[in-house]
Amino acid sequence: FDFDKRAKAARGKTSAAVRSQLASPFEPFQRDLPLPPLAKPVRASKKLEEYVIDMKPGTADILPGLQTPVLGYNGLFPGPTIRARRGRAVHVTQRNQSGRSLNVHLHGGVTEPQFDGHPHDAIPTGAERLYKYPNVAHSATLWYHDHAHGETAQTLFAGLAGFYILDDPDDKHLDLPQGDYDVPLMITDRSFNQDGSFRYRFDLDRGFRGDTILVNGAVAPRMKVERRLYRLRFLNASNARAYTLKLGNGREMIQIGSDGGLLPAPVRRKEIPMEPAERVDVIVDFRQFGVGSKVILHNEGGEPSTDAVMRFDVVRATGSEDAKIPQLLREEEELPEVNAERSWPLTFQGLAGGASMWQIGGGGFNEMRIDCRPRLGSTELWTWRNLSQRTHPMHMHGYHFRVVSVNGKPPHPGDRGWKDTVAVYPNETVVVRPYFDYFGGLYVFHCHAAEHGDMSMMGQMEVVA
């Protein structure tokens, strides 16, 4: 079973017309990689860090000589990075100065339901809301983004997304690259108008897919790297575009983590497919390249075969020649027995009057309906059956799951850690095993292709004691 072919086969049908639409009109490698600023707490103690963030309009320098209007956290795209530590809570006061209703979801976060950003927990414009994040779960690359009901495709596209990196002091012994050598990379796609503003086009079928790939808000940037190990934290924060990352014509990247943090053991990969909202943490060993090398990270999907994501320019030799990656990253914990099994067909449903929508389990989102009631402390088996011709990155709030099988086969080793979003390609059946640990209450699960989730591929679960 060739896993890399799996993604290709699913997306290989992209027509030449679509491929040319997805070719960027801009020169790559013109700018250095920007890093989102670190958010600064307004108060900090041993047990708690407090932040205040303003959701407001701003401008971004993306194209030469032009200003791009965005809606961002502190007016920035991407938003400021929050760095949290396991065992120390983070409180964020989000002030909505955007002119529209918003709310904030900590994607991959384990929080009580009132702080999770259920699409109906809106913050009206002019108001603020306090989100409490206990940081009780494992270290992981999380992100926060808007989740306005039925409008997430627009608000995410406008720029409301930022990193939330959760560290764990217990990971210290692994001696993974830190500081300047631990780099968050937010991949998004956009199209642009002549004046530099983002150009959005609603596409219910495939979701929005832009012609230009940005990393941390810059068009295919370049990054100076030293000849040593780096930890790169990739996040696909695109509305609906998927990527297959490939380094320097097929050099290996060593995957150490996914959505829910560290994998049991490192996995060497030449290609890494990423659907919207997925995170992949890799170690790249730049000692395999000589000083002066320019190493391109490509997107190689069924989409243009040579579009660049970014470039690494190896500038000098530093770091220890014998730095190594530990062979055991995280112990796999035992899970409680499976308490229930559920099956969810994923379909594109024609409606009366010629309209259509995306559905889970034969229904669209209905705030008055609770689709299931898992028991707190239990695990379940959920089967996603994709009966449609599009890929659905299926995401669950509040909890993580393990991927049990993909079309009856074990998942790729890179998907064997904790996940919160899993790709379900056309005609696939993917079985996952969520663990309803920590907090009970009302949460949503949905497709993370933003246009699908808005229209209205989302369900609700109430986790009960």
Give the interface with Cu ion as residue ranges (CB under 5 A).
392, 447, 449, 452
Of 395 and 400, nearer to ligand C2O (C-beta) is: 395
- State which of residues 6, 105, 392, 419 lies at the interface with ligand C2O (CB under 6 A): 105
Order the strands of the 261-269 sheet from edge to edge.
218-219, 212-215, 182-190, 229-236, 279-285, 253-258, 261-269
**Beta carbon of residue 449, minimum distance to ligand C2O (angstroms, whole number):** 11
**Residue 370: CB partners within 8 Å, gap ≥ 6?**
442, 460, 461, 462
Residue 330 interacts with, from Cu ion, ligand C2O, none (CB under 5-8 Å by kind): none
Closer to ligand C2O at the Cβ: 297 or 444? 444
Give the 3-state DSSP-derived string for the chain, with helices as H, strands as E and coil as C: CCHHHHHHHHHCCCCHHHHHHCCCCCCCCCCECCCCCECCCCEECCCEEEEEEEEEEEEECCCCCCCEEEEEECCECCCCEEEEECCCEEEEEEEECCCCCECEEEECCCCCHHHCCCCCCCECCCCEEEEEECCCCCCEEEEEEECCCCCHHHHHHHCCEEEEEEECHHHHHHCCCCHHHEEEEEEEEECECCCCCECCCCCCCCCCCCCEEEECCEECCEEEEEECEEEEEEEECCCCCCEEEEECCCECEEEEEECCEEEEEEEEECEEEECCCCEEEEEEEHHHCCCCCEEEEEECCCCCCCEEEEEEEEEEECCCCCCCCCCCCCCCCCCCCEEEEEEEEEEEEECHHHCEEEEECCECCCCCCCCECCECCCEEEEEEEECCCCCEEEEECCCEEEEEEECCECCCHHHCCCECEEEECCCCEEEEEEECCCCCEEEEEEECCHHHHHCCCEEEEEEEC
147, 228, 241, 390: which one binds ligand C2O (CB under 6 A):
147
- In the complex with Cu ion, the residue whose CB is nearer, 296 or 458, is 458
Cα–Cα distances (Å) from 151 to 10, 121, 162, 202, 229, in that order, read 28, 13, 18, 11, 40
Minimum distance of ligand C2O from residue 259's CB (angstroms): 10
Of 53 and 223, CB closest to ligand C2O: 53
Q: Would you say 228 or 397 has its CB closer to ligand C2O? A: 397
| Partner from ligand C2O, Cu ion, none binding residue 400, C-beta < 5-8 Å depending on class | none
**CB of 53 or CB of 449, closer to Cu ion:** 449
Select from ligand C2O, Cu ion, none the partner in contact with residue 419, using the beta carbon and a kind-dependent cut-off of 5 to 8 Å: none
Looking at the Cβ atoms of 6 and 392, the one nearer to Cu ion is: 392
Work out how close the CB of 243 gets to Cu ion at its nearest, in angstroms, rounded to a whole number. 16
Which of 6, 107, 209, 231 lies at the binding interface for ligand C2O (CB under 6 A)?
107
Q: Is 395 in the site for ligand C2O (CB under 6 A)?
A: yes
Q: Which of 397, 400, 402, 452 binds ligand C2O (CB under 6 A)?
A: 397
* Minimum CB–partner distance for residue 278 and ligand C2O (Å): 10
Which is closer to Cu ion, CB of 53 or CB of 422? 422
Cα distance between residue 261 and residue 39, in whole Å: 21
* Shortest CB 388 distance to Cu ion, Å: 8
Give the separation between CA 300 and CA 307, rounded to whole angstroms.
Answer: 7
447 is an interface residue for ligand C2O by CB under 6 A = no
Look at residue 392 and give the partner it binds from ligand C2O, Cu ion, none, a contact being a CB closer than 5 to 8 Å depending on partner kind. Cu ion
- Residue 419 contacts ligand C2O per CB under 6 A: no
Residue 448 touching ligand C2O (CB under 6 A): yes
452 binds, among ligand C2O, Cu ion, none (CB under 5 to 8 A by kind): Cu ion
Site for ligand C2O in 258-297 (CB under 6 A): 277
* Binding partner of residue 129 among Cu ion, ligand C2O, none, CB cut-off 5 to 8 Å per kind: none
Minimum distance from residue 430 beta carbon to Cu ion (Å): 13
Counting residues that bind ligand C2O (by CB under 6 A) gives: 9
x-marked contacts with ligand C2O along 160-189 as a string, rule CB under 6 A: ------------------------------
CB of 147 to ligand C2O, least distance (A): 5
What's the min distance (Å) between Cβ of 273 and Cu ion? 16
Closest CB to ligand C2O belongs to which residue?
107
Shortest distance (Å) from residue 457 CB to Cu ion: 5
Binding residues for ligand C2O, per CB under 6 A?
105, 107, 145, 147, 277, 395, 397, 446, 448
